[in-house]
């Protein structure tokens, strides 16, 4: 999250990120997938669009695609 507070070393603070993850975990436990699913899809799609806008070396792109394929295979 680019708006996360930073420390003296200019590294993002882990605590706000951890708190956000905990809040999201609680949210998805309390709400059906029909509620949070589209929200999650919007976040993921935005990340994919952002990544697509950045040019990368073909090897990097292939490595990322292979990782995504592995993740999708694990979900099936």
**Does the pLDDT value for residue 6 go beyond 80?**
no
Position 38 scores a pLDDT of 95
Give every CB contact of residue 20 below 8 A, 6+ residues apart in sequence: 1
pTM above 0.75, yes or no: no
pLDDT, tens only, 13-44: 778 889 999 999 999 999 999 999 999 999 99
CA distances in angstroms from 74 to 17, 59, 68, 71, listed in the order given: 26, 23, 10, 5
What token pair was written down for 21? 């993850």
Which secondary-structure segment (H or E) carries 36? Answer: helix 33-52
Alpha carbon distance, N-terminus to C-terminus of the chain: 29
Residue spans of the domains in the chain: they are 31-75
Position 1 scores a pLDDT of 45
pLDDT, tens only, 50-69: 888 877 788 888 898 899 99
């Amino acid at each position: 999250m680019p708006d996360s507070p930073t420390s003296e070393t200019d590294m993002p603070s882990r605590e706000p990120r951890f708190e956000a993850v905990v809040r999201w975990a609680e949210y998805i436990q309390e709400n059906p997938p029909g509620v949070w699913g589209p929200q999650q899809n919007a976040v993921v799609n935005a990340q994919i669009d952002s990544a697509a806008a950045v040019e990368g070396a073909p090897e990097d792109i292939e490595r990322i695609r292979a990782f995504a394929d592995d993740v999708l295979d694990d979900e099936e």
